[in-house]
Structure 1
Amino acid sequence: MPHNPQLVYCKTAKGHEEIAGRHHGLQSRQRSTLILMDCAKSLGIIATAIPLPELEKTIPFLLQSGFIVLADEQREQATRINAMQNRVVTNDINLTSAALKPAVITPSPQPRSPALTQDPAVIAEVKHFMTTTANTYLGLMGAEIISRIQRCHSAEQLMAAVAHWHMALRDSKTGVAFAADFLEQVRFELHNGN
């Protein structure tokens, strides 16, 4: 592997924007890799979920395109920002008493989750992803879950199967490291794939 398996990458603001809204048109594998870049998983762990040849192509692309940075660079940048903010706060200590009046906080309305997709292509892609991950991380123990996923014909039916699929991944020895990220990806696709 041309990259050190101990390296850890983080999403940049652009990376988070892509996960939230698909603004940059990443391919499926690029997007899956980006989702796994969470400032916690090492490349060695990610390589168990994404084939090595894919990682060797995708990581340089994500780096050069500004979707990810090394975790160490992210920490250094956060330290610099905190230091700058502390200087600003220190310089603004001479506040007048009028500026110290308590602020009135009004609760913001809870955002409604978007409707589930009705796009058959998105539903088929999510079914394929769920089936593939169940097969990869559950093996024979995933047969019932795979059968349940394959019987789904709508996003609503898939959402009902997602809980069983996610719990099985969480309970598996190798799938536990990816279960939360995979769940996030499936929910995103089913809610935003319109």
Structure 2
Amino acid sequence: MIFDKTDKGREEIATRKHHLSSKFRPLLVMTDGNHSAEYLLAKVAGLGIDQHALDELLKHGFIYLLDEEPAPAAERVTAPRRIGPSSVPVSGTPVPKLADGETQLNALSHFFNETIRNTIGLRGFALQLKVERANSIDEFRALRAPYLEAVFKAKGADTALSLGGRLDELLDMHLPTQ
């Protein structure tokens, strides 16, 4: 089973509006529509998170089974998607926004490189090499989970959640990739 975030889940990551328990937040952050529930649970097992957390996120509408459609628009809350000065910066890291003529791939590469250097430091060198080799949105999307895991280990849940929300905004843009 593969899960993805609903708009409510994205909103919770960005604003903490729904006051989700801090125990469930790492699992919500890692839920990306690309990895199976078993994979996600294995990654967060060391934090004491189990199937119950996944069930709670599903029950409260933060995630949905990818085979299913999310709740109809009338039943869900649409998270504001802002990129720019209104985003919450984390300890000097740049706020993701596209400069004139910048492509989504360039923006993703810049975001990863700047935030890896500022939050993970030298421990992120191998991850930076992977970023340099990434040539598509899907390759950047595949780096999302290891990136957030490294940020979580280096700076904690709050920083990982903030950067994860900003990364999701960049990954979900519908812009030219060349």
TM norm structure 1: 0.45
TM-score, reference length from structure 2: 0.49
